Amino acid sequence: MIKKIAMLVCHNLYESKRHFTQKLGEAFERKNVQILQLQWPFGPVPPSILKQIRAWGPDLTCSFNQPAPLDNGLFFWDELGIPHWTILLDPVIYDLGYLKSPYSILSSVDRNDCRYMHALQFERSFFFPHAIDKALIGSASDQKEFDVVFPGTCYNPDQLRNTWIKQQPEHVSKALDNAVEMVLGEKCTTSIQAVRRALLDSGISPKEVDFVELLYYVDYYTRGIDRIKLIQSIREASVHVYGAKWKNDGEDVQDWSFYLGSQKNVTIHPPVSFEEMLEIIKRSRILLNSMPFFKDGSHERVLLGLACGALPMTTRSQYLFEQFEEGKEMLFYDPLKWDSVEGTIQFWLDNEAERSALVAAGQKKVAMEHTWDKRVEQALPFLEEWVN
């Protein structure tokens, strides 16, 4: 039985992972698991933190962050000889090195990534979707200041595509364009599947190229273009956008004003912290969520929206589609069909009583199935099998 978990967290954009760590830790404590939370600014886990872990003697360490290897190339849990649970919030393809450690346990917020890890014969993995703090349920403000809100980073798809055109042979570049169309146009096709199929269709073996680099281009291009087109499709309703600009290998890219600055119904705000964003969501009617990278997974924004009184409109995901009834508990849209978004949003803005009823219905589902307490119940059987 797991009695003690050391939870580690360092800085990330908007400080969302500090919030997740705090709330997951509280849920574990309600299950009588002792929690030690340890923080550091950035980089590998410092020796002072390792010393505290050794002295406390946990059964397990865990983190939402993906800590960098130590100076000797090992992960800190290899040096400690203690199992570590990495709670992935991004596609696993970027973190395959973790699968090599005999002390690694990984969870993913997307069931496709779990299937991928199992296909690689990595069995210490399980599905662990996003969740919310149950205290947020029913916390909506009576004053709805914002009709539509989008919180998220501005990725620069133009720069990404220009980069791969310059760096890749023409036939590879065309394959990447085809992969983008697959990701955006096919409901169940992941970025990994799309890039692999596009390469093979072009007569290119995935072993002949840097597959992860090509996947990175397609993944971040589709992220960037989907959120831009989603917001641009809304021409009448007032939209408030909060988010930083992205940095690619230290190179600054365009911010939201480059893509949306001429759109009169869009107000661009500086980025805010996760906690500040919660207060904005509570005062919002509709919350936009773009996640073409998770075809069978979750995102915290849709759960936070319902808990805090905002109606989510999100990229369709098989998992979310199973969990929430379309048009009765949540709204979905499909990339490449952005033209349909405006009419749907305007309908729900014009019908406040119906919008509130839909949010209330979705909120009940969140309260039953998507709290951190529920996630702890789901995770403990897996963790106890692999830790003891």
**Residue pointed to by tokens 């917020």:** 109
Mean pLDDT (whole number) for 334-356: 97
The pLDDT value given to residue 127: 98
178 and 272 Cβ atoms separated by less than 8 Å: no
Mean of pLDDT over the chain: 94
286 and 149 Cβ atoms separated by less than 8 Å: yes
The pLDDT value given to residue 276: 95
161 and 155 Cβ atoms separated by less than 8 Å: no
pTM: 0.94
The pLDDT value given to residue 70: 76
Taking the CA atoms of 238, 243, 244 and 245 in sequence, report the sign of the dihedral they define: negative
Rounded to whole angstroms, how far apart are CA atoms 268 and 182?
A: 31
pLDDT digits (tens, 9 = 90+) for 232-274: 999 999 999 999 888 765 566 788 999 999 999 999 999 999 9
Residue 52 tokens read as 């505290």
* Residues forming a β-bridge with 252: 247
Mean pLDDT (whole number) for 25-32: 98
Mean pLDDT (whole number) for 173-189: 97
For 277, the enclosing helix (H) or strand (E) is helix 274-282
Rounded to whole angstroms, how far apart are CA atoms 190 and 144?
A: 36
- Say whether pLDDT at 297 is over 70: yes
Contacts of 124 (CB under 8 A, 6+ apart): 104, 105, 106, 386
The pLDDT value given to residue 67: 78
44 and 71 Cβ atoms separated by less than 8 Å: yes
Taken in order of first residue, the domains within the chain and their CATH numbers are 4-131+371-387 (3.40.50.2000), 135-369 (3.40.50.2000)
Mean pLDDT (whole number) for 372-378: 98
- Say whether pLDDT at 52 is over 60: yes
Taking the CA atoms of 268, 88, 209 and 43 in sequence, report the sign of the dihedral they define: positive
- Rounded to the nearest 10 degrees, the angle between the axes of helix 191-201 and helix 211-232 is 120
Contacts of 117 (CB under 8 A, 6+ apart): 92, 99, 106, 108, 125
pLDDT digits (tens, 9 = 90+) for 332-342: 999 999 999 99
Rounded to whole angstroms, how far apart are CA atoms 192 and 339?
A: 27
